[in-house]
Structure 1
């Protein structure tokens, strides 16, 4: 055991099931551990390192900002935060932005905003929030209550009241549960931790329709799907439906902690001074990093390349499904957010790939999730597919 692992085993909380490796350096789609061994990273910090590890434009932006200003709190304005809000608004449906530090915090802000907006506009009885079964929105209490996977609830109940869950893509269930007491519907365009399952366009359109009919807000959790991951800057663009509120995090700052909650002007007006806050939210350094990420990711040419790379990876995976039908079932997802559906335990395949120094994740027993950096090279996609084929053949 290396010194880093030894220290971690001794002093860190045991709430993570970590792989037996400590990384000390990264570049692009590659990582190196403390022994100097190289790994091919198709995890990217769980869809966080959008431009890969230590991209020059992000490193340079962070270095420049660190030398100017680290933190002043949200009692004052800072240029990186204001500029970042501008670029997010100019490239989305939204008109206002609230910054925080993580995806769970962005979801908490969205849930609070939805309830406060309903309280101010409709009165105190409109409090119900509809979410989806098999969804994941975070570990804090509001986000956990929205999460539709009881395995995450164990030992933490009672949860926040007035949350109701319906099956994904069940139009009748959605119509039945959204009523005059509903203040919001929250959904992931692609269920990430649920196994990388895209919602149907019909269901997303119906969510918009029933929200409009009942005076409820539509919240899109784009923490995993946003910032180019699906080949569009935001996944809602695939569905032709705009939400009222959107949550972002993960890839937003390319590896630094930053979350954002975006909303239309009328909705965001419900957050008056003192109603919600975040001491570190929109930190100048994190915002400088995010500006560097978005300048590149928001380019139409860059996004078109993400779609092409996603298709190349999907095509290679489908070919492996044909060669190993006893082990693989199919492929689902959008862009470079893909899941290989397995007949064998996905965790076993993930472990076998790790032993070959390839990093992936397995959010479900039958789903191997692939979220390489959006800058992954075609030769690296080919290398991954070659190693995966060898692993399947030998396993």
Structure 2
């Protein structure tokens, strides 16, 4: 049933034992925080395909490492850059400037403005992961609020949001299963419903203006179920926040960097809806850990030396890769291809949905960030896809999520969606 190929040699674990034997052991060596399929161990990849050399399986990958490897697995240029940069300088700390971090920061600002993103983008804080980028954004917003009024510390987030697992980012993440096991988090966080009338959302912010420092929102909610936020909602939220000295943060960890067919998801919006801060990670390093928090001068003016820091953030190795990523993604021809692939992907999914209207309720998304919402959790469909050689992940309670490499070949999209349709048919036959 699996897509098989002949593996000449099963890889060896570092102590010489067969990796297959390690996987079969009853005792694991990693903490109990992940649920993984027992018969799958990824050993290598190429663009939109992954390989399990332990078991001899090949997979079409519609996950891209959870929207990370936007330029494909084992991208040859990324590999070359990593090798070359590692010979020069990997790390020197933020005690000193490095050419790579200065060049990347300038590139992020310049490309952002050039491609319709935050029109007043000014400064960049470089770190290592999406949750770190959001931690910085929340701290910066709170610092700005406190400088206006010491009581102005509260944060507004939204239902279905996901912003990370560290304590600050977790505090503004909606799903209670992530938050409640860890007790008290950051106080004064309010969760609003994005589907409420805009006037109701605006009234809440206006009434609490002396207590709210920042508002954080994903322009396309990812982990919550692939929900694009309507433009008029974001425009209205930005206006009321600007009128009441509330910093607006757009979390573009998953939806940014070409994923929606523009360099940034907020580039689909008019400049009056642009954020004060936005965050980027995932695709920024195409798999190498790096992230960024981008701010305007209003936010930067609230910051002082020592207000924030990170040991590894902006290291030359990550920055060298990210410069290539930014140059590749910030290209009209490349983005046009993303939109073309997305249109084909979406139309085909709609056809599948029309064949199974009782099982698949809706197809929604933006660019190559697409969700197919099922009437029930698609656990068996995901499992059947994997058996047939396709990797798909979920979002929210009942949505199959499609976030493939932006460089995925058209024929691989078609083959993968053929498998998805077969899996749906097999489960619901």
Q: Which TM-score band applies after superposition, normalised by the shorter structure?
A: over 0.9
Pairing of 1:2-17 with structure 2 (within 5 A): 2-6=20-24, 10-17=28-35
Report the CA distance shift for 1:277/1:343 in structure 2 as closer, same or farther (over 3 A): same
Helix, strand or coil at the partner of 2:43: strand
| Structure-2 residue corresponding to 1:293 | 325
- Per-residue deviation at 1:18? 1.1
Residue 30 (structure 1) aligned with residue 49 (structure 2): yes
Normalising by structure 2, we get a TM-score of 0.89
Match for 2:128 among 88, 101, 104? Answer: 101
- Give the TM-score normalised by the residue count of structure 1: 0.97
Report the Cα distance in structure 1 between the residues aligned to 2:210 and 2:48, rounded to whole angstroms.
Answer: 49
Partner in structure 2 of residue 61 of structure 1: 81
1:231-270 aligned at under 5 Å gives the runs: 231-240=261-270, 241-270=273-302
Q: Does 1:85 align with 2:105?
A: yes
Aligned match for 2:246, one of 180, 194, 216: 216
Give the corresponding residue for 1:167.
193
Aligned to 1:378: 410
Question: Structure 2 stretches of 5 or more lacking a match?
Answer: 1-18, 113-117
Q: Distance in 2 between matches of 1:303 and 1:111?
A: 30
* 1:17-69 superposed Cα distances (whole Å, 9 cap, x missing partner): 11221111111101111233211100010000010101111111111101111
Count of equivalent residues: 394
- In the alignment, which residue of structure 2 is the partner of 1:201? 231
Instruction: Quote how far apart the aligned CAs of 1:293 are.
Output: 1.1
Contact persistence 1:169–1:200 (CA under 8 A): no
CA shift at 1:4, angstroms?
5.0
SS of the residue corresponding to residue 277 of structure 1 reads coil
Distance across 1 between alignment mates of 2:188 and 2:42: 42
- CA–CA distance in 1 between the matches of 2:416 and 2:318? 31
Greater shift after overlay, 320-329 or 157-166? 320-329
For the residues of structure 2 that align with 1:245 and 1:147, how far apart are their CA atoms? 18
**Would you say 1:18 and 2:3 are equivalent positions?**
no
Give the distance between the partners of 2:258 and 2:140, measured in 1 at CA: 25
SS of the equivalent of 2:74 reads: coil
CA RMSD of aligned residues (A): 1.4
Q: Indicate yes or no: 2:247 matched with 1:228.
A: no
2:315 maps to 283
In structure 2, C-alpha distance between the alignment counterparts of 1:53 and 1:356, rounded to whole Å: 20
Report which of the two structures shows the higher radius of gyration computed on alpha carbons: 2
Distance in structure 2 (CA, Å) of the matches to 1:5 and 1:290? 34
| Residues 101 and 281, structure 1, Cα contact 8 Å, conserved in 2 | yes
